[in-house]
Amino acid sequence: MAAKKLLLLPGDGIGPEAMAEVRKIIAYMNAELESDFSLEEGLVGGCAYDAHGKAISEADMAKALAADAVLFGAVGGPKWDTVPYDVRPEAGLLRLRKDMELFANLRPAICYPALADSSSLKKEIVEGLDILIVRELTGGVYFGEPKEIRDLGNGQKRGIDTQVYDTYEIERISGVAFELARTRANKVTSMEKRNVMMSGVLWNEVVTATHKAKYSDVKLEHMLADAGGMQLVRWPKQFDVIVTDNLFGDMLSDIAAMLTGSLGMLPSASLGAPDAKTGKRKALYEPVHGSAPDIAGTGAANPIAMIASFAMCLRYSFNMVAEADRLEAAIAGVLDDGLRTGDIMSEGKTKIGTVEMGDAILAKFRALA
Ligand code: NAI
Ligand code: MG
């Protein structure tokens, strides 16, 4: 069997610190579980700009396109706040998303039992929560044309953004949601605003047609996106997979994230279309958090978001479901043992650093094997 090709792009700030903990897990899996990951490494973000003046080099872009999956840390920091706009650290991530055509952004919101007390919602509302938000990432109002500030000539200006969705974009994102639902609780809730937006009318139509044609075994429900936001806070456990557009998904996934605790806990995946020959999807996995310059270099960063992103990689890129389940169970187990990094620390728990957290998760992962 050909090796599983992973490209690691640790990036800036706490990115490399968190990635080092994933590297240990991969080394263990290669040495003792006969996994065959082959690792390449590249530069992205500020460190890439310092090295060669671009947020990602053509050579590293080529590696990303050739990899089975990309693991991305975080980019940016005050050091690069004044670099030109087109080579700013974020440009590296945007280039990856665009060139790899990563149109489906997966953001799970899982409430680890040990952290149910630290949610901003009541414990019974979030305990055991496990939902997945599938956000369309490459279309909609963030990209639609015209997009401009128009001078109206009468002392007024007009800011214009355009929400545009074509049939194929809605078909492919809803296809991802239905397929994922089949591996979970088999339910999809589609959210749009068909009451006031034409793109919402089309969204609703196409999701309904896609469901009828290929996924009628999955339970489908439609909800207006504003009502969806309300329901996410009122009773989030009613959802399994939520599929929505770029703008609503941006907000709804941030709301869902905060149901479950700290930024340092949240993983994400971004998937492209399956290759016509191999059926493999291009994919990039990254924590939701940024480079956390305020704690970078102090050894305090929580590596769980990065490690959980690798668990998503095992699940979605390599179909290593048992290993993904086990790695997620290891994270839950370490939290059950009362171990906490500073960002999730609470009274009576044991405060540890990045490396200790990584070691504890690896030890648990090994013990569960
Ligand atoms: P941030 O996510 O880096 O940090 C926000 C707050 O959360 C900070 O107090 C930080 O210490 C804390 N935090 C974040 N991740 C943590 C972790 N794993 N463990 C413990 N604490 C954690 O967001 P911020 O401060 O707005 O941005 C910092 C830099 O990161 C900026 O340059 C920004 O542009 C960049 N950024 C990059 C992203 C990416 O690479 N995808 C995403 C968001 C921001
Ligand atoms: Mg956001």
- For the stretch 125-151, pLDDT in tens is 999 899 999 999 999 999 999 999 999
| Percentage, residues of the chain above pLDDT 70 | 100
Which of 18-32, 143-157, 238-252, 258-272 has the lowest average pLDDT?
258-272
316 belongs to the catalytic site: no
Q: What is the C-alpha end-to-end distance of the chain, expressed in Å?
A: 22
What is the amino acid identity at position 343?
D
With b for 16 or more beta-carbon neighbours within 10 A and e for fewer, the 315-353 pattern comes to bbbbebeebbebbbebbbbbbeeebbbbbbeeeeeeebb
24 belongs to the catalytic site: no
Distance from the alpha carbon of residue 101 to the mean position of ligand 2, in angstroms = 19
* Number of residues in the chain: 369
Atom of ligand 1 nearest to the CA of 75: 40
Which residue has 């090796």 as its token pair? 3
DSSP state at residue 22: H
- Residues making up the binding site: 77-90, 97, 107, 135, 226, 250, 254, 290-302
Catalytic residue, chosen from 28, 130, 142, 343, is 142
| Percentage, residues of the chain above pLDDT 90 | 88
Cα dist from 67 to 102, 257, 280, whole Å: 14, 29, 11
Q: Could you give the maximum distance between any two Cα atoms of the chain, in Å?
A: 71
Catalytic residue, chosen from 50, 166, 254, 275, is 254
The model's pTM is: 0.94
Helix axes 198-214, 167-182, angle to 10 degrees: 50
Q: For residues 88 and 97, what is the distance between their CA atoms, to the nearest angstrom?
A: 15
- Residues making up the binding site for NAD(+): 77-90, 290-302
Contact between residue 180 and residue 106 where contact means Cβ atoms under 8 Å apart: yes
Q: For residues 43 and 55, what is the distance between their CA atoms, to the nearest angstrom?
A: 8
Which of 13-22, 239-248, 301-310, 343-352 has the lowest average pLDDT?
343-352
Cα dist from 154 to 149, 158, 159, 275, whole Å: 14, 11, 15, 52
226 belongs to the catalytic site: yes
Atom of ligand 1 nearest to the CA of 305: 18
Contact between residue 78 and residue 46 where contact means Cβ atoms under 8 Å apart: no
Residue ID of nearest Cα to ligand 1 atom 18: 264
Residue ID of nearest Cα to ligand 1 atom 12: 292
For ligand 1, mutation pick of 263, 298, 352 (most atoms within 8 Å of CB): 263
Beta bridge partners of 269: 106, 285
Give residue 85's pLDDT band: very low, low, confident or very high (50, 70, 90): confident
> Per residue in 280-302, pLDDT tens?
899 999 999 999 999 999 999 99
| Residue ranges lining ligand 1, Cβ < 6 Å | 14, 74-77, 93, 263-264, 286, 289-295, 301-302, 305, 341, 343
Q: Is pLDDT of 1 > 70?
A: no
Q: Is pLDDT of 272 > 70?
A: yes
What token pair was written down for 227? 């009502």
Distance from the alpha carbon of residue 253 to the mean position of ligand 2, in angstroms = 7
Catalytic residue, chosen from 4, 54, 63, 193, is 193
Give residue 59's pLDDT band: very low, low, confident or very high (50, 70, 90): very high
